[in-house]
Amino acid sequence: MNSKTATLYIVATPIGNLGDMTTRAIEVLKAVDVILAEDTRHAATLLREFGIDTRTWSFHDHNEDKQRDAVLDRLEEGNDIALISDAGTPLISDPGFTLVREAQRRGLNVSPVPGACALIAALSASGLPTDRFSFNGFLPAKTGARRRVFSSLRQESQTLIMYESSHRIIACLDDLILEMGAERYVAVGRELTKKFEQFYCGSVEAVKETIASADNHQKGEFVLMIAGQTEISVEQAEVRRFLSLLSKEVSVKTASQLAAGWFGGKRNDYYQLAMRLREDEP
Ligand code: SAM
């Protein structure tokens, strides 16, 4: 622990629904000496809503380097400071990382005030495995770079989460089909906590068709979640065919061993699938 008493609070704010503002976030934002805000005008609307009249300083990607030392000096002088972003949890695809790193290096108190975060909200309601997941931030804007990201993640067995913008969601799903196959299971969360909140779940091909079917589905903010390779590959038609054919010739145990060797993933997943296929057979 350090001897300084001033604290840098990392305060989460709602991702759409103002009802998600926490009591502690309001208390902390009222009590600190300064609030660092990504966009001070945007913050003003939120702060007014909750009767917070603490002064704000602008703190965003383009001035983080310039502002950082001044903020750290203020903290060292004993001023409590809070960092907020436009929505959700600061630092999660939002500014603040180097500030927090430097504050930790200087031995200052840094304290989170948790609340909304789009990736966690999306994951919690997606129906995808939550025991292991990776967050990959925003996908690249260009198709080549995006495909390289998907390609590099193809074999990952954990749930993959990324942020995507509304005007690229269809192109992004097209690239995903090319790199991970049309059968890969995905969940897409749109406009979470807002009026038009929606989840699209199923094979990436089916989800893309639904989202492409009407302009309304392409509006707003998106979280893309991709089922990990193990979960997926055992559902693919190719794998099913492989297992069905092989299980007729060798034991289910051997067939699942061979499938795991050929496609990657856990033998037991293939074993379970082979048993299901056997039960389904007429
Ligand atoms: N710091 C934020 C958080 O805690 O999630 C994320 C900020 S990042 C600049 C904004 C991106 O987060 C959006 O482009 C979208 O991908 C995702 N996002 C934010 N709010 C969302 C919402 N209500 N529904 C779906 N996605 C959302």
One domain, residues 105 and 132: no
One domain, residues 27 and 123: no
3-state secondary structure 205-224: HHHHHHHHCCHHHHCCCEEE
Does residue 34 fall inside a structural domain? yes
One domain, residues 71 and 105: yes
Report CA(245)–ligand 1 centroid distance (Å). 45
One domain, residues 168 and 255: no
Domain boundary among 90, 116, 142: 116
Three-state DSSP class for 96?
coil
Going by their DSSP bridges, the two strands 56-58 and 34-37 should be labelled as: parallel
From residue 42, how far is each of 46, 47, 84, 246, 263 by CA, in Å? 7, 9, 11, 60, 49
One domain, residues 108 and 134: no
Closest C-alpha among 185, 162, 173, 161 to residue 212: 173
Q: Report the distance separating Cα 49 and Cα 279, nearest Å.
A: 58
Kindly state if the Cβ of 85 falls inside 6 Å of ligand 1.
yes
Q: Report the distance separating Cα 260 and Cα 233, nearest Å.
A: 10
One domain, residues 18 and 84: yes
DSSP 8-state code for residue 167: G
Q: Per the structure block, which two tokens stand in for 237?
A: 């038609």
One domain, residues 135 and 206: yes
Does residue 232 fall inside a structural domain? no
Kindly state if the Cβ of 94 falls inside 6 Å of ligand 1.
yes
Does residue 176 fall inside a structural domain? yes
- Contact 6/18 with Cβ under 8 angstroms? no
Dihedral sign, CA of 157, 161, 166, 168? negative
Report CA(72)–ligand 1 centroid distance (Å). 27
Q: Per the structure block, which two tokens stand in for 175?
A: 């690239």
Q: Per the structure block, which two tokens stand in for 206?
A: 């089916």
For residue 190, the ligand 1 atom closest to its alpha carbon is 25
One domain, residues 125 and 220: yes
Does residue 2 fall inside a structural domain? no
Q: Per the structure block, which two tokens stand in for 247?
A: 């299980």
One domain, residues 95 and 127: no
Does residue 159 fall inside a structural domain? yes
Report CA(15)–ligand 1 centroid distance (Å). 7
Kindly state if the Cβ of 10 falls inside 6 Å of ligand 1.
no
According to the model, what pLDDT value does residue 272 have?
Answer: 83
According to the model, what pLDDT value does residue 1 have?
Answer: 41
Test site for ligand 1: of 38, 84, 93, 194, most ligand atoms within 8 A of the Cβ: 93
Q: 274: domain range? A: 237-280
Does residue 231 fall inside a structural domain? no
One domain, residues 111 and 11: yes
From residue 13, how far is each of 109, 115, 126, 194 by CA, in Å? 20, 6, 22, 14
Kindly state if the Cβ of 28 falls inside 6 Å of ligand 1.
no
Report CA(164)–ligand 1 centroid distance (Å). 9
Q: Report the distance separating Cα 162 and Cα 25, nearest Å.
A: 26
Kindly state if the Cβ of 22 falls inside 6 Å of ligand 1.
no
For residue 197, the ligand 1 atom closest to its alpha carbon is 24
Kindly state if the Cβ of 165 falls inside 6 Å of ligand 1.
yes
Does residue 1 fall inside a structural domain? no
One domain, residues 201 and 257: no
**First-to-final CA distance of the chain:** 67
Report CA(118)–ligand 1 centroid distance (Å). 5
Q: Per the structure block, which two tokens stand in for 26?
A: 């309001």
One domain, residues 266 and 242: yes
- Counting the structural domains of the chain, the total is 3
Helix axes 267-280, 237-249, angle to 10 degrees: 80
* pTM for this predicted structure: 0.83
Does residue 256 fall inside a structural domain? yes
DSSP 8-state code for residue 130: -
pLDDT in tens, the chain (282 residues): 444 589 999 999 999 999 999 999 999 999 999 999 999 999 999 999 999 999 999 999 999 889 999 999 999 999 999 999 999 999 999 999 999 999 999 999 999 999 999 999 999 999 999 999 999 999 999 999 999 999 999 989 999 999 999 999 999 999 999 999 898 999 999 999 999 999 999 999 999 999 999 899 999 999 999 999 864 455 677 788 888 889 889 999 999 999 888 887 788 888 888 887 887 776
Domain boundary among 116, 136, 162: 116
Enumerate the H helices of 106-168 as residue ranges.
Answer: 118-124, 143-153
